Amino acid sequence: MPVNNRVGAGRIDVNGDSPTANGDDSASCNYQSKYITLISSDGFEFACLREAALVSPTIKGMLRSQFSEAKTGRCTFPEISGVIMERIVEYFHYYHTYRDRDDVPDLDVPVELCLELLVAADFFGLDNKINEGQQQQPASSVPRRQVAAAVTRPH
């Protein structure tokens, strides 16, 4: 799939039906959305492809059944700071982009965030088990660059 296509499609989606752009919309609309919103402790909101975020068993659990997160598509994490959350969302999309590839370039983890990210990775369940329970997913994906564009300032 050509890269240009993906970028274009991604941008339109973010501005169109992502919960970030629409704010608190009606539950049914957000439930259908391809995107969910992850909110960090300091109020940053990250729009994240739902499919990509589902790699985390923690988020998968939150979005299942009748929790309020499942209805609104907004997940608040009071333990995770914005800096860390940005990396986590970046990882979700990185993982999603390369999920069926053999030669995957390593995502660069900044040394100073290493330990905090390790704790966050444990919190989100991003350990060896994610590869075991991996399912075949449709091939649409969002490039990493877009993550930065989808960040909104705290209100």
Partner 1 sequence: MSRQNQPARRIQGPQSALTDFLASHNISANQIRLDADARRRAAQQGQDGQQNGADAGTSTAPITLDLPSPETARLDETEARTRGGKRRKAEQTAIDKIKASKKFQRRKRQVDDSEDDDDLARAIFQERSAPLPGQMENCAICGKRFTVTPYSRAAPDGGGLLCTPCGKELQQEGGPPKKKPKRATGGAVGRRRQQQSDILDGTYHRGAKPLMTLCIEKLTKHIDLADELGDLPPMIIDKIARNLSKHRLLDSRTLGLFLTPTAEDVHVYDGAKLSSEDLIRIFQTVPALKNLKIRNGIQFKDEVMDYLLSRDIELESFYLHGANLLSEEKWIQYLQEKGRSLQSLRVYFTDKHFGDGVLATLSTACPSLKRLKVTHNQAVSAEGIKNIGQIKTLRHLSLDLHKKVHPDIYVSLLSEIGYDLQTFSLTRVPDIDNTVLDALHNNCKSLQKLRITDSEVMTDEGFARLFNGWENKPLRFIDFQKCRQLDAGQPRENPDNTGLCSNGFKAMMAHSGRYLVDVNVHACRHISAAAFEEVFAADKVYPDLKNLEISFCEEVTDFIVGSIFRSCPNLHELNVFGCMKVKDVRVPMGKILVGVPNALGMVIEGDDD
| Minimum CB distance to partner 1 smaller for 106 or for 153 | 106
Helix/strand/coil for 68: helix
Binding to partner 1 in span 33-92, by CB under 8 A: 88, 91
Output the DSSP codes for 73-133. Answer: -EEE-TTS-HHHHHHHHHHHHHHHHTTT-SSPPPPP--GGGHHHHHHHHHHTT-STHHHHT
**Under 8 Å between Cβ of 115 and 68:** no
What does DSSP say about strands 35-39 and 45-49: parallel, antiparallel, or unpaired?
antiparallel
Question: If you ran DSSP here, which 8-state letter would residue 152 be given?
Answer: B
| CA 74/CA 56 separation, integer angstroms | 15
* Of the residues 28, 101, 153, 155, which one makes contact with partner 1 according to CB under 8 A: 101
CB of 127 to partner 1, least distance (A): 5
CB of 155 to partner 1, least distance (A): 29
Binding to partner 1 in span 111-150, by CB under 8 A: 111, 114-115, 117-119, 121-122, 124, 126-128, 130-131, 134
* Of the residues 98, 140, 146, 152, which one makes contact with partner 1 according to CB under 8 A: 98
Residues lying near partner 1 in the complex (CB under 8 A) are found at 88, 91, 94-95, 98-104, 106-107, 109, 111, 114-115, 117-119, 121-122, 124, 126-128, 130-131, 134
